[in-house]
Chain A
Amino acid sequence: MLDDRSTSAAIASAKPTIAVLGIGAIEQHSHHLPIGTDWIAVSEVSQRVAAELNALWIPAIPFSMSECHGPMAGTVWLKPATLAAVLRDVAQSLREQDIRKLLVLNGHGGNFVIEPTIQAINQEFPDFRIVMPSEVWATIVGEPPIFETAGTEVHAGESETSTELYLNPDNVKSERVDYVPPVGREFLDYAFMDQVSPDGMWGTSSKGSAAKGERAIAAQVHAIVAFAKQAFEVLR
């Protein structure tokens, strides 16, 4: 595994051509999930993906665009321009050391600045490719879908509860709130989460299970690895 526990020389002699960077978040996750849920999940998934791709794993970024949760406790954030600058600087650092492919895994659904940033980086650096699977990887996996409520969850619901029960069960509380607000998810462009859902829930957490989480993580890693291999091949 090429990661931050490796020496510079060990990484250099392995000559990785791809780096993997997960984007996490520290934000309210309703009554039962820890505030680090997104960071914990994307750290694990990105490590497994990096291992399969023989890529360099960069420690997942812990903060991102969590301002959508407004005043809810346990939430910190980066402004969109800051997150964009972080991605650009990481890309530049990698270019300078002759790693020219970056796979970004977005662990928090609210990070909408990433797509424009990725396009801009690809335009600015023609010798560098940065790619990201679409956000559906997190919740809609498996055929038939592993999650019964696939498509209705935005936050802290069946899929996040399942993943956390699998990865970090000691820190999942027993309380479960189920609530799907009667509005489109674009309402988070217009109001804060606590206004749309005072319990900070957008989904059906009671349907979460560790077994689903284990299957989903495996399916996600498989799908992401396939995506990355194909994308970097097509873009060669």
Chain B
Amino acid sequence: MTKVTSVMLTWQNTAWEYQAHPPQIAILPLACLEPHAAHLPIGTDRIIIGEIARRVAEQIGAPTMLLPTWSLGTSGHHAGKTGAIYLRFETLWAVVRDVVTSLHEHGIHQVAVINNHGSAMTGTTRPIGNFIVKTAVRQLNYETPGLTAIWVQPFAAARAELANLFPSARSELHAGAVETSLLMRLARDLVGALPPDHVPDVAPNYLDFAPFKKIAPRGIWGKPSEASADQGARALEIIVQATTDYITTTFKQLKEIKQRG
């Protein structure tokens, strides 16, 4: 019997291949559809997250199931603007709950939710964007014995290195240097003329209190002037590495914690 160490299975594999190579880990990538100023497409997050998730799944070193990227997030702060197609928080919660629970029922007991890309503004304790996923994962762990679910935002996992690459990484929330550079690397033909930099003067939690266009009237929260395709290529590598490391380390630590208990 062939020993399988690192096998990535996706939506292109058959059920019988899944049976022959049962995944130990599943990766559920979440993105969002929302306006991204003048220069980036509404599917920017889907492009970025899809690529990060695929590379992470390939590198993880355990048999892994890569799920398709779920495109609809909780972008209600962009409500009413063209291209903002979003879910209420309860709905995204239910999506995560249902998918992860069905994975568990099919014998996959370690699930990593890549919860959009987040921001180098924060660490790995509080997500920025799709905030309900933190609660969804918590409840899954409480309510589903035998399951270990985690969440990670790649920009937050790689925040120290991103801050070295881009002076503005720690003040970027939307359509700034990091997102723009990644799109320049991944989909150059979709990046338009760069708008002026703009970093609003308030904390990001103001987006809980008022629409994005009131808090950041230019539709941007960052400095796209710092972006380049080369920077995007470097950023992609460090982001994938940091995200892979976070996932593997966290699952390992949790295994030890749960064995002790």
Contact = CB atoms under 8 A, between A and B. Distances in A.
A195 interface: no
B42 A11 contact: yes
Nearest to B15: A28
Contact of A5 (B69, B82, B103, B190): B190
A76 B82 contact: no
B105 to A, nearest CB: 7
Interface string A36-52: 10011000000000000
Interface in A30-72: 30-36, 39-40, 58-59, 61-63, 66-67, 71-72
Nearest to B69: A62
A85 interface: yes
B70 A82 contact: no
Interface string B79-104: 11111111110110011011100110
Nearest to B79: A96
Interface in A63-92: 63, 66-67, 71-79, 81-82, 85-86, 89-90
A12 to B, nearest CB: 4
Interface in A20-34: 24, 26-34
Overall SS of chain A's interface: loop
Interface stretch (B6-14, B114-122, B126-134, B155-163): B6-14
A93 B91 contact: no
Overall SS of chain B's interface: loop
B72 interface: yes
Given A9-B38, A12-B82, A75-B102, A85 B90 contact: yes
Q: How large is the interface on A (under 10, 10 to 19, 20 to 34, 35 or more residues)?
A: 35 or more
Contact of A86 (B10, B38, B91): B91
Given A58-B33, A71-B105, A78-B99, A40 B15 contact: no
Given A4-B41, A76-B99, A36 B33 contact: no
A200 interface: yes
A171 B15 CA distance: 12
A123 to B, nearest CB: 19
B223 interface: no
B15 A36 contact: no
A67 B101 CA distance: 12
Interface of B: 9-19, 22, 33, 35-36, 38-43, 46, 67-72, 79-88, 90-91, 94-95, 97-99, 102-103, 105-106, 187, 190, 192, 219
7 contacts: A4-B43, A6-B42, A29-B14, A34-B11, A72-B15, A74-B106, A93-B84
